[in-house]
Structure 1
Amino acid sequence: MRRPLKLTSALFACGVLLASLTAAVPAEAAAISCTDTDLPVSGPGLPPLVPGAPATVHGRLCLPAGAVPDTVQLLVHGGTYNSAYWDLPYEPEQYSYQRDMAAHGYATFAADQLGAGRSSRPLSLPLSVWAEAESMHEVIGHLRAGRAGGAPFAKVVIVGHSVGSGIVAVEASTYHDVDGVVLTGITHLPALPVLALGAALGLQPAMLDSQLATLGSDPLYFTTRPGARAGLFYAAGDADPAVIAADEATKDQVSVPGMGSVALFGIVLPSTWGITVPVFQVVGEKDVLFCGVLALRDCSDAGVLRAQEAPYYADPSKLSVYVLPGAGHSVALHENAGEYRSATRSWLQDRLGIAPQGYHSIGRN
C-alpha cells in the first residue's frame, strides 16, 4: 500500500507545482493590445482640410500585457511608406517591430506622417521637414499627456527610418522633448548618384500609380514604380520575396518638396548636431542608398562607421552605432531584423535605463 501512496503523493506535489507555475503567469499575458487613434496637430503652412477642423495624425499604439509602461517609442516611417512599415501584415512574429517590442515589454506608437496612411493629406508643397517635425512634436505632447490610450508616458524615445530619420533629427534638435533618438536607414553622406538614379527611374507621381490613384493627390506627391522597391530597399540575400510583395501592397506616397527639404536639412546638413540625448544609429550593411563607395561610408563595421558619423554630433560619446549584417535599406523588413530589434532593446536598457515592463512570449528575439 505504500507504493500507491507514494505515487499519489508525487502526483499531488506535481499538481501543486503546476498550479503555482500557472498562477505565476498573469491572466493578462494572454495577448498584447494594439489600438488606433487620431491626434490633432497643426503645422506651418498647413491650413485645415475642413475649415475649423485641425489636421490629424493617425497612429497605432501597441502595449505589452499587464501594466502600461512609462516609456513609449514614437515610430516615424520613411518616404513612400506609412505606419505599416512597423507592423507589416505578413508573418508579424518575425517582421512586426511593434508586436515584437510589445512582446518584450515595450510600448510603441507608430504614426502615419502627414500626407500618408490615415493621417490628413494636405497639399504637398508646404509639407516640409519643419512641418513634419512640428507635427511629431505635437504627437509627443499628446503621448505625454495620455491622449493616446488613456495613460500618460513619462518618457518618449523617437525612432525614425530613412526620410523619417531626417524628420526625427530635426524634431529632436529643435524641440528637445525626447529622452532618446533612434535613427535607422541613414548616414550623413548618402550615395547621391544612386539616390538620383533611383529617383529618376524608381519614382512616379502617385496620381499616375494604379494603386494610389484614388487618393486624389496633387502632382508633387510621388511613390515608387511597381517593382522598384526590391532594388532600392532590399538586399537580395536577406529578403523574403513575400515581404517585398507585402511592402509593395502597403506602399504610400511622399511629398517631393518635403523629401527634398528632409534630404538637405535633416540628413546632409548636421541637424543631428543639436541633439542632446543618446542616439542609436542603425544601418543595413548593404544599404545601397547610404552605404558603400558612392556614399563614402563604410557600413561593413560599426566601429568604422561610428568614427565617420561622430563628427556630426555635438557629443559623440552619446552616439551608438549598429550595422545589421547583410541587410539593405529597410532594416525592419529583412529576414534577420530580429537582431536589430534585440540590439535596440539592449541600447534602451544599457544607455537609457529603460527596462521592459510586461512580457508575452510571442515572436522571436
Structure 2
Amino acid sequence: MRLPVKVTSALFACGVLLASLTAAMPAEAAAISCTDTDLPVTGPGLPPLVPGAPATVHGRLCLPAGQAPDTVQLLVHGGTYNSAYWDLPYEPQRYSYQRDMAGHGYATFAVDQLGAGRSSHPLSLPLSVWAEAEAMHEVVGHLRAGHAGGVAFGKVVIAGHSVGSGVVAVEASTYHDVDGVILTGITHLPALPVLVVGAALGLQPVLLDNQLSTLGSDPLYFTTKPGARAGLFYAEGDADPAVIAADEATKDQVSVPGMGTVAVFGIVLPATKGITVPVLQVVGEKDVLFCGPLALRDCSDAGALHAQEAPYYADPSKLTTYVLPGAGHSVALHENAGDYRDATRSWLRERVGAAPQGYHSIG
C-alpha cells in the first residue's frame, strides 16, 4: 500500500530532523572536554604523607573544542567547598562555571585545595594561607609547563572564591607569576558580627559531621552544620533549592588555621597591595558575610564597591569591580550567575587580552 504523498513527506521530514538531532549530539558532547589530574606540590611545614612522596593537588582541566586557548583560569574554591563549586553536579548548562567557560572558548583548571576533595589531606595545623599559596604557585608552574592535559599555557589567570580569594591574593602578591587575578565573594572589611555568629552556629568539627566523618580528619578541620549553607551562602529569591541541596551534598572541610590566617593576612591586611596585574573583584549584592552596614561596605553597585576597595590596591586603575544583583555569597551558584560569567569573559578579553577559542554551546 502506497502512503499519501503528504504523509510520506511528513515522515521524511521527521526522519531528517531526527537524523540532524542525532548527528548534533556527538558534536555537542565533543564541544568541551574535561580531564582530571594530580599534580605534585610542596608547602612550608607540610611533611609528605608518605616518606619520600610529595603532596598532590587534584584538579580538573576543561577545554573547548579545537585548538586549546593560550590562557587558562586557575580556579580556587572557598572554605568548606571543593572544586565542585566550579562544576556543580546539577544543571551544568546553568550552574557549571567550568563547562560554561569551555562552551564559550575558555580553558579552566579547578583545583581541590590541600585538605579538601581529592587533594592530599595533611595535618591541619601547618595548613596556613602561605602553605596553600605556595601550592597554588606550584600549580601555576605546572600549567605553564604543560603538566595538566599536555597543554602549556602562555597566560594564567588565578581566580578565587571567599577563603580561596584570600589564598589567591597572597599567591599573586608573593610570587608575581600570573597575568590576572579574579577575587569573588570577598571585600576587605568582612561583617565580623555575622562571621562570628555564623561560625559559632553554622560550623562544627568534621569529626562530628555524619556526612564527612569518614574523612578521618583531625580536630581542627571544620565544616558547615546541616542546613547552614542556605543562610550563610545564598540570598533568598535568587537561589534554587535544588542547587543548595547539591551544595550540601558536595560540601567539604576547611582547616581552621588556614581559615584564620586567610582572614587576617589575605583579607583584613591588604595582601592585594602587592598585586601588580589586572584584578576583577566580584561580590553578590546581598552577601551577608562581606557586604552591608556590618561590613561597612555598600555593595549596591560596582561604582560604590570600587570607591571603597580601591585604597587596598597599589594601582586602583587596574581594579575592575562587579556586583551581581540579588546574589548572596556564593556568586557562581545563584540563578543569575550567567551575568557574572559574561562580565568575567568581558574582563578577560579587555583587561587580560585573553581571546576565546571559538564558541560552543553546552545546552
TM-score for both structures, normalised by structure 2? 0.92
Where does residue 280 of structure 2 map in the other structure?
280
Q: Name the aligned partner's letter for residue 48 of structure 2.
A: P
Shift of 1:360: 1.2
Q: Name the aligned partner's letter for residue 297 of structure 2.
A: R
8 A contact 2:28–2:361 mirrored in 1: no
Q: Name the aligned partner's letter for residue 94 of structure 1.
A: R
The 2-side partners of 1:109 and 1:357 are apart by: 16
**Higher mean Cα deviation, 344-353 or 284-293?**
344-353
Shift of 1:362: 1.7
Where does residue 23 of structure 1 map in the other structure?
none
**CA deviation vs aligned residue, 1:101-141 (integer Å, no higher than 9, x gap):** 00000000000000000000000000000000000000000
Unmatched 5+ stretches in structure 1: 1-18, 20-25
- What is the DSSP-based 3-state SS (H/G/I as helix, E as strand, rest coil) of the residue aligned with 2:303? helix
Shift of 1:301: 1.4
Aligned residue pair count? 341
Q: Write the mapping of 1:88-237 to structure 2, written as runs, cut at 5 A.
A: 88-237=88-237
Where does residue 60 of structure 1 map in the other structure?
60
Shift of 1:361: 1.5
- What is the DSSP-based 3-state SS (H/G/I as helix, E as strand, rest coil) of the residue aligned with 1:299? coil
Where does residue 251 of structure 1 map in the other structure?
251
The 2-side partners of 1:182 and 1:45 are apart by: 27
- What is the DSSP-based 3-state SS (H/G/I as helix, E as strand, rest coil) of the residue aligned with 1:327? coil
8 A contact 1:93–1:100 mirrored in 2: yes
- What is the DSSP-based 3-state SS (H/G/I as helix, E as strand, rest coil) of the residue aligned with 1:237? coil
Where does residue 299 of structure 1 map in the other structure?
299
Is 1:330–2:334 an aligned residue pair? no
The 1-side partners of 2:361 and 2:90 are apart by: 19
**CA deviation vs aligned residue, 1:321-359 (integer Å, no higher than 9, x gap):** 000000000000000000000000000011111110132
Is 1:84–2:84 an aligned residue pair? yes
**CA deviation vs aligned residue, 1:226-269 (integer Å, no higher than 9, x gap):** 00000000001100000000000000000001100000000000
Q: Name the aligned partner's letter for residue 279 of structure 1.
A: V
TM-score for both structures, normalised by structure 1? 0.92
The 2-side partners of 1:28 and 1:94 are apart by: 16
Shift of 1:207: 1.1
The 1-side partners of 2:178 and 2:312 are apart by: 19
Is 1:239–2:246 an aligned residue pair? no
The 1-side partners of 2:37 and 2:358 are apart by: 22
The 1-side partners of 2:100 and 2:28 are apart by: 17
- What is the DSSP-based 3-state SS (H/G/I as helix, E as strand, rest coil) of the residue aligned with 1:105? coil
Query: What percent of counterpart residues are identical?
Result: 88
8 A contact 1:185–1:283 mirrored in 2: yes
Q: Name the aligned partner's letter for residue 135 of structure 2.
A: S
Shift of 1:29: 8.0
8 A contact 1:29–1:360 mirrored in 2: no
8 A contact 2:28–2:362 mirrored in 1: no
Where does residue 344 of structure 1 map in the other structure?
344
Shift of 1:27: 6.2
Where does residue 266 of structure 2 map in the other structure?
266
- What is the DSSP-based 3-state SS (H/G/I as helix, E as strand, rest coil) of the residue aligned with 1:322? strand
The 1-side partners of 2:130 and 2:353 are apart by: 30
Q: Name the aligned partner's letter for residue 142 of structure 1.
A: H
The 2-side partners of 1:161 and 1:125 are apart by: 22
8 A contact 1:212–1:252 mirrored in 2: yes
- What is the DSSP-based 3-state SS (H/G/I as helix, E as strand, rest coil) of the residue aligned with 1:109? strand
Where does residue 12 of structure 2 map in the other structure?
none
- What is the DSSP-based 3-state SS (H/G/I as helix, E as strand, rest coil) of the residue aligned with 1:294? helix
Q: Name the aligned partner's letter for residue 181 of structure 1.
A: V
Where does residue 310 of structure 1 map in the other structure?
310
Where does residue 6 of structure 2 map in the other structure?
none
Q: 1:315 to 1:51 in 2, by over 3 A?
A: same
- What is the DSSP-based 3-state SS (H/G/I as helix, E as strand, rest coil) of the residue aligned with 2:320? strand
The 2-side partners of 1:28 and 1:284 are apart by: 32
What root-mean-square deviation, in Å, do the aligned CA atoms of Structure 1 and Structure 2 show?
1.5
The 1-side partners of 2:301 and 2:71 are apart by: 31
The 2-side partners of 1:37 and 1:123 are apart by: 23
- What is the DSSP-based 3-state SS (H/G/I as helix, E as strand, rest coil) of the residue aligned with 1:61? strand
**Higher mean Cα deviation, 124-133 or 348-357?**
348-357
Q: Name the aligned partner's letter for residue 292 of structure 1.
A: G
Unmatched 5+ stretches in structure 2: 1-19, 21-25
Where does residue 360 of structure 2 map in the other structure?
360
Shift of 1:55: 0.1
8 A contact 1:29–1:65 mirrored in 2: no
Where does residue 71 of structure 1 map in the other structure?
71
The 2-side partners of 1:315 and 1:200 are apart by: 37
Find runs of 4+ consecutive structure 1 residues off by over 3 angstroms.
26-30
Shift of 1:31: 2.4
**Higher mean Cα deviation, 220-229 or 27-36?**
27-36
Q: 1:29 to 1:207 in 2, by over 3 A?
A: closer
